[in-house]
């Protein structure tokens, strides 16, 4: 056999293996995008009519519950999302409610007026509560949500930890939520805070699974935005060490105005996503819904 034939065959085999690996990676990224959810706020209710052109029907669109926002504004936005064929996932911020009756009223109206079956239950950023609730766990344990027919409930996850809550306390609270959900027929899932370092996300997921937590996870990623915008939101949301990944290069106007998207994190996460129970990504749009929706649409197409 001509030695050249052998080397040609080896090169061809290597090329085929690489092509298969590339195709597998693309497919894994597409799966993450097709399972993606995205956030909007009550401030954008006038734009919701156009969202149906940007996203596949039935896409989960989270409605944030910002400080100072009356919960009927969240209800109005959720109702409009349902009308245009998307699936509203309102945020319920425990510290914003004055009473259990207020939670029950909100949940019942979400069910009746927006056909809501899924919510994200969070504590909320307020330093003090407006009523008896300090944590999402306390609201969950009232039983109000399942009584209103809401049995798909998301809880927050923190790849970098929480700036105010010790890790052990976070772990204990998640354990109690899981036990409550199992006892009451609730489908619990996790939506993580955004993070800029893929390895931190992977380490966090591996730690969850090592503890026996099998809940599906949507991994939070920052949607396309300028580095300046991302740094501002990172500070506001208490993002820690991974923020250095954005700010590690010399500061310049061009650098601050450069755009950064979820591609790197999606590429790094995709090969292990299925094995780690990642059901999709969750895009934080930071006021630019259209660009984040465009990323989901383009990436889902493969």
**DSSP symbols for the chain:** --HHHHHHHHHHHHHHHHHHHHHHHHHHHHHHHHT-EEEE-GGGGGGGGGGGGTS-TT-EEEE---TT--HHHHHHHHHHHHHTT-EEEEEEEGGG-SSHHHHHHHHHHHHHHH---EEEEE--S-SS-SSS--SHHHHHTTTHHHHTT--EEEEEE-TT--SSS-HHHHHHHHHHHHHHHHHHT-EEEEEEPP-S-HHHHHHHHHHHHHTT----EEEEEEPSEEHHHHHHHHHHTT--GGGHHHH-SPP-HHHHHSEE-SHHHHHHHHHHHTTTTEEEEEEE-TT-HHHHHHHHHHHHT-
The ranges assigned to domains in the chain are 33-300
pLDDT at 124 over 80: yes
How many other CB atoms sit within 10 Å of the CB of residue 131? 15
pTM: 0.86
Quote the percentage of the chain above a pLDDT of 90. Answer: 69
Q: Tell me the average pLDDT across 151-177.
A: 94
Q: Are 188 and 151 in contact (CB under 8 A)?
A: no
Q: Has residue 239 got a pLDDT over 80?
A: no
Please, which residues bridge with residue 282 across strands? 37, 220
Q: What is the pLDDT of residues 41-85, one digit of tens each?
A: 999 999 999 999 999 999 999 999 887 888 899 999 999 999 999
Statement: residue 250 has pLDDT above 70: no
Question: Which pLDDT score is estimated for 298?
Answer: 96
107-127 average pLDDT score: 92
Q: Which two tokens stand for residue 227?
A: 């580095």
| Pairing label, strands 118-122, 152-157 | parallel
pLDDT of residue 196: 86
Q: What is the mean pLDDT of residues 186-194?
A: 96
Instruction: Answer yes or no: is pLDDT of 219 > 60.
Output: yes
In this predicted structure, the answer to whether residue 240 has a pLDDT above a threshold of 90 is no
Return the CATH fold of 33-300: TIM Barrel (3.20.20)
More confident residue, 247 or 21: 21
If you average pLDDT over every residue of the chain, what do you get? 87
Half-sphere exposure at residue 65, Cβ-oriented, CA atoms within 13 angstroms:
24
Kindly state the average pLDDT of the residues 200-211. 96
pLDDT score at 280: 97
Taking residues 236-248, report their average pLDDT.
59
100 vs 26: CA distance, rounded Å: 46
Q: Give the pLDDT confidence score for residue 17 in this predicted structure.
A: 66
Which pLDDT belongs to residue 69? 83
Is the pLDDT reported for residue 160 higher than 80? yes
Quickly tell me which residue has 């992977």 as its tokens: 202
Quote the pLDDT of residue 273: 96
The confidence score (pLDDT) of residue 255 equals: 43
> Mean pLDDT over residues 151-176, rounded?
93
252 has pLDDT over 50 = no
- Of the spans 18-27, 125-134, 151-160, 163-172, which averages the highest pLDDT? 151-160
237 pLDDT band (50/70/90 cuts)? Answer: low
Examine the pLDDT at 229 and tell me if it is beyond 90: no
Banded pLDDT at 9 (limits 50, 70, 90)? low
């Amino acid at each position: 056999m001509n030695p050249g034939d052998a080397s040609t065959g080896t090169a061809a085999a290597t090329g085929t293996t690489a092509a298969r690996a590339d195709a597998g990676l693309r497919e894994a990224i597409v799966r993450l995008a097709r399972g993606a959810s995205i956030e909007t706020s009550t401030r954008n209710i006038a734009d919701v009519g156009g969202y149906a052109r940007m996203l596949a029907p039935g896409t989960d669109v989270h409605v944030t519950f910002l400080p100072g926002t009356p919960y009927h504004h969240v209800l109005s936005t959720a109702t409009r999302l349902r009308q245009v064929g998307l699936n509203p996932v309102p945020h319920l911020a425990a510290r914003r409610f004055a009473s259990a009756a207020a939670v029950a009223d909100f949940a019942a109206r979400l069910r009746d007026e927006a056909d809501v079956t899924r919510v994200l239950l969070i504590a909320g950023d307020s330093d003090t509560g407006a009523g008896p609730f300090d944590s999402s766990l306390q609201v969950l344990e009232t039983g109000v949500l399942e009584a209103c027919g809401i049995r798909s409930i998301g809880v927050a996850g923190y790849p970098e930890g929480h700036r105010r809550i010790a890790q052990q306390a976070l772990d204990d609270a998640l354990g109690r939520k899981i036990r409550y959900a199992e006892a009451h027929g609730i489908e619990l899932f996790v939506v993580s805070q955004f993070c800029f370092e893929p390895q931190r996300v992977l380490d966090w997921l591996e730690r969850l699974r090592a503890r026996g937590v099998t809940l599906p996870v949507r991994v939070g990623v920052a949607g396309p935005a300028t580095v300046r915008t991302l740094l501002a939101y990172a500070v506001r949301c208490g993002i820690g060490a991974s923020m250095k990944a954005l700010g590690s290069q010399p500061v310049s106007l061009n650098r601050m105005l450069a755009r950064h998207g979820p591609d790197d994190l999606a590429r790094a996460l995709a090969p292990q996503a299925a094995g780690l129970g990642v059901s999709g990504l969750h895009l934080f749009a930071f006021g630019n819904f259209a660009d984040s929706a465009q990323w989901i649409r383009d990436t889902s197409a493969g």
